[in-house]
Structure 1
Amino acid sequence: MAIESSVLGHHVFSSGPFSSTTFHGSNGSYGSSYVNNVKLVRGTSLKMKCLGSSDSESVVSNSNANLKFIDEFLVKSGIVLAATVCGVLVFGCPEVFASEGLSAFFSLAETSITTLWPWKVRELAEKETENGVFRLLRSDVTRFLTTILIGTTVVNIAATALVTEAATAAFGEAGVSAATGVMTVAILLLTEITPKSIAVHNATEVARFVVRPVAWLSLVLYPVGRIVTLLSMGMLKLLGLKGSSEPYVTEEELKLMLRGAELSGAIEEEEQDMIENVLEIKDTHVREVMTPLVDVVAIDASSSLVDFHHLWVTHQYSRVPVFEQRVDNIMGIAYAMDLLDYVQKGETLESITVGDMAHKPAYFVPDSMSVWNLLREFRIRKVHMAVVLNEYGGTVGLVTLEDVVEEIVGEIFDENDSKEEIQKKTGYIVMRAEGVFDVDANTSIDQLSEDLTIKMPEGHQYETVSGFVCEAFGYIPRTGESIRIVLERDDEDDDDDSNGDHQEPKEKKHIFKLEILAGNARKVSAVRFERLNNGDEMLETKEVTRMFPKIVKRKWNSGEESEDDAEYDGYGFPKRRQEDISCEYVVDQENSHRD
């Protein structure tokens, strides 16, 4: 469940070229059109407050017309300038024009080769014969780049020398300045900006055109290129750098490609999520996906098969852990299919114990094991269930093949799962009113942070809301207990606006009241998060102690006056009686480094 919540603390502008948006300000809201030039809109916003909607639209439309005129003028001027330079080079010094043409070719080659994705090079190489040019490019890209750089350097120096010589002969010493100006424009327009822009947008087509000539030239310049390569490697060693290259495609680049494919419509969003889950599964540990021991359904080894049948009818589990004396002493796994075999054979179920039927021993794995390795072990051992142990050898939970698959495809339910079981498995966040959320304690911290737009303390060790609440209280709270906490607001839009104004991002915070809705002496089951402010306040937390990062906490006494009647201090907390001062402590991460 995703809950969208935002607080418009200041003006929001459209990023599109033209859009109609409601403008929120301290003096109210009104509709107007904006252009994607933020400075222009902000510069005219004061005038727009004093004008009607038609006047404001006129101001923006006139500004947009001026911008379009300036853009067209610059484009036309650039074309005229490029044509002039080309004309001067063709009619005044054709050798220089030919040199610049070669330089443009090398720029095309360099940009297309460096822009082309490695997997695309591999695809093109596989379509060629054994001695194809793309196979050579894939095996030794340094050779191609060295040849290109040598060619670019030689032709640019030659062209500059020819122009300088001709200009000096015609204008004397002033010709040096004239040659410098002409060659600067020529190199930028004809050999850098234009060809590289073409190559960036048409990398594959350009690469097919330029790779073969560059390969031939690399044979001619091989001795020079080899010497240059050896010299560059020697300089790297002198500087203490290694010449080894990174992987062709990193994991982050692959994820970026997936996002691009999803945005372009090549793959669905669900497919993107699934592939990213596969990439992340190697960094996920068994403890993150297992079922905790307190939630495990198990059966005593001394129980009869009749008891096992009743358990199977109640829970519909095909595999059940079997323990001896204590639930954490699991000795095997009982299969429901084996029970059906006993029934089919006409065996007396009362005379056979579950321990006799169990598959022994159970498969044990450490909680630090990666899910990827667990999946591999499941395939090798041909098992679907494992008992999870901590570093001390104690049983902490159970993990199944279904848990692993759900890390890739998401939660899986069947027709036998009740609503309570689904909520227990996935957790839930229900918005009861504006700023009031009922949260299942099994909900992941990441889901809570996303739905409530908050940031959790850095370096936390808990994974669910239950762990967060217990650490906030400092103990396992009972039903009805409540505290107040302050958490930093996770609002990326505000950060972007601050960066656009060249201002440091402001750390605005939310004040929440946490109330325990359900639980017992061993665990918390449900919590209510009630937001008491809109997150715009800048809370001061200077006098603090290191107890819990980024959290301000206070116990509520049952005898305190209600929120409606209480007077609030500068921090947003009700003013306390003198005898209640010891019940509150304030903590912050900034001062934790002082201890």
Structure 2
Amino acid sequence: MAMTDRTHDKSTSDILSEGGRQSSVSTWLNILRAKLGFAVPQSVRDALEGALKTDASTSFTDTERKMLERLLRFGSSRVVELMVPRAEITALDENESIAELLETFEEAGVSRIPLFRETLDDPRGMIHIKDLFRWFMAEASGRPVRSGKIEGGEDAPVAGKIVLQNIDLNRPITTVKIRRQILYVPPSMPAVDLLIRMQSTRIHMALVVDEYGGTDGLVTIEDLVEQVVGNIEDEHDDDEEINIVSDPKLGVVAAGRTEIEELEKHLKLKLTPEDEESDVDTLGGLIFSMLGRVPARGELIHHPSGIEFEILDADPRRVKKVKIHPARALPQSTKASAEAPKA
């Protein structure tokens, strides 16, 4: 006969009792909200959205408000809205050399690079830079690598000296057993579901594939987290403490993370309609909302106010630096005819 562990299992009556208490508490909270003049929310999302629409300055700090707004937007986002498009994916053919892999890591400034065979439509996993470093150490010290770790464990003493000449950089990537799995997801997948899947599988890169198996884009866990907390910059990102610079030659240059309110004050222009203020926080976000994608370097975007945004620097995930061209003045004859009173 199977024994029941009563320290961990709960009877049906216990569960129903707990459910009754929770329901009672919820009922009293709803009564209290009604007495205070607040509508009873249908869900936590409704409650948050209602609270964020209030004008009470003491409800949330600016940072809290922006993060909660991003969180609500993230909850309704799909993978296709957040992915790096196919044309901007940094990837490498699995038959390339270790030297080429090193150069790609250095140029792209990323920690993971997807592999493919001939085209991106035939993906072959990914390489993490930490695994590549472990392989270097194993080759230089004469110890084999197993499952992405040096045999003997991290605490094992190094056998002999580290000799860099032992590393053959001309070896094809296929001969080095350090590749990891990658996730494959449809464009319509909710972003929240992908984040949960990445956490549970501990695979932090996903290729977005269409119904025919073709590669549409790529998403990393950093892409998803940044949708909630904002841009995450590390020690290797360029320092952009000054958000807006007036250059004698270039004109007005602004960082992509410049707050819309700050830029509007500098330009003395209104850049967002009233109904979009809560959806756009930064210059990069404004440009993304106008295009529906991250623009490429050198692209010129016309704003309804007449000014133009020229993308000076951008990566597949965000806009970094933008030159702002002032509204073009009308020719004198056109201006005169426009100002002339109608008969």
Q: Does 1:251 align with 2:18?
A: no
Kindly indicate whether the alpha-carbon contact (under 8 Å) linking 2:307 and 2:325 is maintained by their aligned counterparts in 1.
yes
Aligned to 2:90: 297
Structure 2: distance between partners of 1:377 and 1:295:
24
In the TM superposition, 1:194-273 aligns within 5 A as 200=36, 248-249=42-43, 251-257=45-51, 263-264=57-58, 267-273=60-66
Q: Which residue identity does 1:385 align to in structure 2?
A: M
Equivalent in 109, 117, 122 of residue 324 of structure 1: 117
Relative distance call for 1:515 and 1:247 in structure 2 (3 A) is closer
Structure 2: distance between partners of 1:309 and 1:299:
11
Deviation, structure 1 residue 341: 2.5
Kindly indicate whether the alpha-carbon contact (under 8 Å) linking 2:181 and 2:203 is maintained by their aligned counterparts in 1.
no
Equivalent in 199, 202, 213 of residue 379 of structure 1: 199
Kindly indicate whether the alpha-carbon contact (under 8 Å) linking 1:439 and 1:529 is maintained by their aligned counterparts in 2.
no
Across the aligned residues of Structure 1 and Structure 2, the Cα RMSD in angstroms comes to 5.2
SS at the partner of 1:302?
coil
In the TM superposition, 1:406-417 aligns within 5 A as 406-417=226-237
SS at the partner of 2:185?
strand
1 or 2, which has the higher strand percentage?
2
Aligned to 2:173: 354
Aligned to 1:366: 186
Q: Does 1:306 align with 2:123?
A: no
Relative distance call for 1:438 and 1:287 in structure 2 (3 A) is farther
Q: Does 1:453 align with 2:255?
A: no
**Residues 170-191 of structure 1 deviation map (CA, whole Å, 9 limit, x = unaligned):** xxxxxxxxxxxxxxxxxxxxxx
Relative distance call for 1:249 and 1:354 in structure 2 (3 A) is same
Aligned to 1:400: 220
Number of residues paired by the alignment? 268
Equivalent in 332, 335, 343 of residue 136 of structure 2: 343
SS at the partner of 1:350?
coil
SS at the partner of 1:330?
strand
Higher RCO, Cα 8 Å, sep 6+: 2
**Residues 214-234 of structure 1 deviation map (CA, whole Å, 9 limit, x = unaligned):** xxxxxxxxxxxxxxxxxxxxx
Structure 1: distance between partners of 2:83 and 2:336:
45
Structure 2: distance between partners of 1:331 and 1:410:
31
SS at the partner of 1:263?
coil
Relative distance call for 1:567 and 1:292 in structure 2 (3 A) is same
In the TM superposition, 1:473-552 aligns within 5 A as 487=304, 510=305, 512=306, 514=308, 528-531=324-327
Equivalent in 261, 272, 277 of residue 70 of structure 2: 277
Structure 2: distance between partners of 1:361 and 1:374:
15
Deviation, structure 1 residue 399: 1.1
Identity rate of aligned residues, in percent? 22
**Gap regions ≥5 residues in structure 1:** 1-128, 145-198, 204-244, 471-475, 488-509, 533-561, 574-595
Relative distance call for 1:482 and 1:251 in structure 2 (3 A) is closer
Q: Which residue identity does 1:388 align to in structure 2?
A: V
Structure 1: distance between partners of 2:124 and 2:66:
38
Kindly indicate whether the alpha-carbon contact (under 8 Å) linking 1:438 and 1:527 is maintained by their aligned counterparts in 2.
yes
Structure 2: distance between partners of 1:397 and 1:133:
47
Structure 2: distance between partners of 1:379 and 1:515:
37
Q: Does 1:568 align with 2:335?
A: yes
SS at the partner of 1:417?
coil
Kindly indicate whether the alpha-carbon contact (under 8 Å) linking 2:71 and 2:228 is maintained by their aligned counterparts in 1.
yes
Structure 2: distance between partners of 1:293 and 1:133:
52
Relative distance call for 1:200 and 1:262 in structure 2 (3 A) is closer
Relative distance call for 1:568 and 1:353 in structure 2 (3 A) is same
Structure 2: distance between partners of 1:464 and 1:259:
20
Relative distance call for 1:255 and 1:331 in structure 2 (3 A) is same
Deviation, structure 1 residue 344: 2.2
**Gap regions ≥5 residues in structure 2:** 1-16, 143-166, 276-284, 314-318
Aligned to 2:208: 388
1 or 2, which has the higher helix percentage?
1
**Residues 93-132 of structure 1 deviation map (CA, whole Å, 9 limit, x = unaligned):** xxxxxxxxxxxxxxxxxxxxxxxxxxxxxxxxxxxx99x9
Structure 1: distance between partners of 2:26 and 2:288:
53
Q: Which residue identity does 1:396 align to in structure 2?
A: D
Structure 2: distance between partners of 1:133 and 1:399:
42
**TM-score when normalising by structure 2:** 0.57
Q: Does 1:334 align with 2:151?
A: no
Q: Which residue identity does 1:568 align to in structure 2?
A: K
**Residues 261-318 of structure 1 deviation map (CA, whole Å, 9 limit, x = unaligned):** 97226x5332333233333322112233222333332222112223223333444432
